[in-house]
Structure 1
Amino acid sequence: MTPLKIGACLKTDEIATLRDWLFEAERDIEIQDFMSHAAVTHDREERIEAARAALDGHTGRRGIHGPFEGLDLDNKDPELRPLITARLLAALEAADRIGARQMVLHSPYDAWYQNNVFSFPGYPEKKLARVHEVLGPVVRAAEEAGITLVIENIQDVRPETRREMVESFGSQSIALSIDTGHAQLARRMSGAPPVADFVADAGARLAHVHLQDVDGHADRHWAPGEGEIEWTAVFRALSECEGAPHLVLELRDKRHILPAFAYLQARGLVT
């Protein structure tokens, strides 16, 4: 198994503390300054300039985490759906201006959906239609900008459900993201497959991975090795992927990034 290069998720003002590790090896960086309402409205210009300054000299791959709070991709209110689209388009423009070629968005699927998919006539089709209404213009804008939207599992139970949603757009500008901790939580809470199986199902559609560990109870964002995820199996599955997904540590305590890297490196999993 060939060790894989990993990077990290950071706020702009956190980059300097890991600059040498990130910049010298051209590691993936995910900027997490554009997730809030303020970040894509009145604070956007300031955040764009700060990100561009902090990334000066970085030659690795870049992405951003897009906004998500209150921005459900299948919002049932027809008056709110255009506003959600506008928020996502504003974030996409910010991504483009800082040189990011990916934007992470949250999946609209959860255990409720999976358990009730056959309970209501037309439920899957109606949900998917709302997702297309919200996300269709964003996918088209991403195509024009050369950016890929990556859809992250949040409470997803079946990985193929989210994959089929992504495939329904028929575009190379929308792909899959896997959060390892979220997948493990779904395994414990809802009987989802193991994390490595999420990776295997994504296949060539996998473009991005959040690496974090959990205890099976809550979304801890611990360093790998502190929880219960089977990391050798996960990295074996990642090494078999046809593509080259962005691999980024998404840890709550950024002081744990380098120790997490050392833990995975000592096991021959990363470089």
Structure 2
Amino acid sequence: MCFELSSPDEGVRGSAFRRLCRWIVYASKLGVRVLVVHAAFPRPSLDMRYDEVIKRIIELNVSYVKELAKLAEDHGVIVAVENCMEPWFCSSPPDLLLLMEAAASEHVGVCVDTGHFNVNSINPADAIRRLSGYIVATHLHDNDGRHDQHLPPLSGNIDWRGVMGAFRGAGYEGPLIYEFGSFGGQSPRNVVETLKLVTEYLKALT
């Protein structure tokens, strides 16, 4: 979907965008309040200069987010743009702020992915503070700062005390959603216990 939204083929782009619009409608019917999406990403190409690619991707994403804002408002849904991995657009707070300002809508916000910021060498707590006022969803996970490992909090090198303090300072009161991909081979019982301990610790920091 991310690549299709930035396809040079107008038909492919249009089809992908219509599909995204349908998801907003489905979310509304299912009672989903926040729908997390990724920005449009370009496929590597030798046909365009880097500055041309960046300009085109910004134009596409600004156009998309303005249209999505209108549709989301009509259906009572909030669209949350997730920060992604470098080198893609929306991997940094300035990219996300650009879209938020373009949308200028309470129905478009940011989904903070702590692990992605960490791998991108962006302090998650600093990013949260910069995005204050726009955060509507979270994907919480940890890593070693080099790989997108999707580990439970406290399993990598993210400063969770700083992260939770930043959320508190930003006035974020929404759910804290985990996005894990690995538990180091733990048994299901141990996974449950790990989640309980992590949750209790994070709650104590808020």
Supply the RMSD in Å over aligned alpha carbons: 2.7
Shift in Å, 1:244: 2.2
Give aligned-pair identity as a percent.
21
Query: What CA deviation, in whole Å up to 9, does each residue of 1:17-47 have, x standing for no partner?
Result: xxxxxxxxxxxxxxxxxxxxxxxxxxxxxxx
Higher relative CO (CA 8 A, sep ≥ 6), structure 1 or 2? 1
Rounded Cα–Cα distance in structure 2 between residues aligned with 1:75 and 1:121:
14
Matches within 5 A, 1:1-271: 68=1, 70-72=3-5, 74-108=6-40, 120=51, 123-124=54-55, 126-155=56-85, 156-187=90-121, 193-253=122-182, 255=188, 256=191, 259-266=194-201, 268-269=204-205
Shift in Å, 1:184: 0.5
Rounded Cα–Cα distance in structure 2 between residues aligned with 1:140 and 1:257:
40
Aligned to 1:246, the other structure's residue is in SS state: coil
Gaps of 5+ in 1: 1-67, 113-117, 188-192
Aligned to 1:204, the other structure's residue is in SS state: coil
| Contact map agreement 2:66 2:102 (CA 8 A) in 1 | no
**Are the structure 2 counterparts of residues 221 and 205 from structure 1 closer, same or farther at C-alpha, using a change threshold of 3 Å?**
same
Aligned amino acid, residue 120 of structure 2 = A
Query: What CA deviation, in whole Å up to 9, does each residue of 1:163-208 have, x standing for no partner?
Result: 1112211211111111011111101xxxxx3110110111011111
Shift in Å, 1:129: 2.2
**Are the structure 2 counterparts of residues 257 and 79 from structure 1 closer, same or farther at C-alpha, using a change threshold of 3 Å?**
farther
Shift in Å, 1:151: 0.4
Query: What CA deviation, in whole Å up to 9, does each residue of 1:49-106 have, x standing for no partner?
Result: xxxxxxxxxxxxxxxxxxx46444x443322221111111121122112110110011
| Contact map agreement 2:3 2:41 (CA 8 A) in 1 | no
| Contact map agreement 1:109 1:162 (CA 8 A) in 2 | no
Aligned amino acid, residue 207 of structure 1 = V
Normalised to the residue count of structure 1, the TM-score between the two structures is 0.62
Count of residues in Structure 1 that have an aligned counterpart in Structure 2? 190
Structure 1 runs of 4+ aligned residues shifted over 6 Å read none
Shift in Å, 1:157: 4.4
**Are the structure 2 counterparts of residues 80 and 134 from structure 1 closer, same or farther at C-alpha, using a change threshold of 3 Å?**
farther
Rounded Cα–Cα distance in structure 2 between residues aligned with 1:251 and 1:208:
16
Query: What CA deviation, in whole Å up to 9, does each residue of 1:105-155 have, x standing for no partner?
Result: 113479x9xxxxx9636943x322212343443321111011110000112
Rounded Cα–Cα distance in structure 2 between residues aligned with 1:166 and 1:76:
25
Gaps of 5+ in 2: none
Shift in Å, 1:261: 3.8
**Are the structure 2 counterparts of residues 122 and 91 from structure 1 closer, same or farther at C-alpha, using a change threshold of 3 Å?**
closer
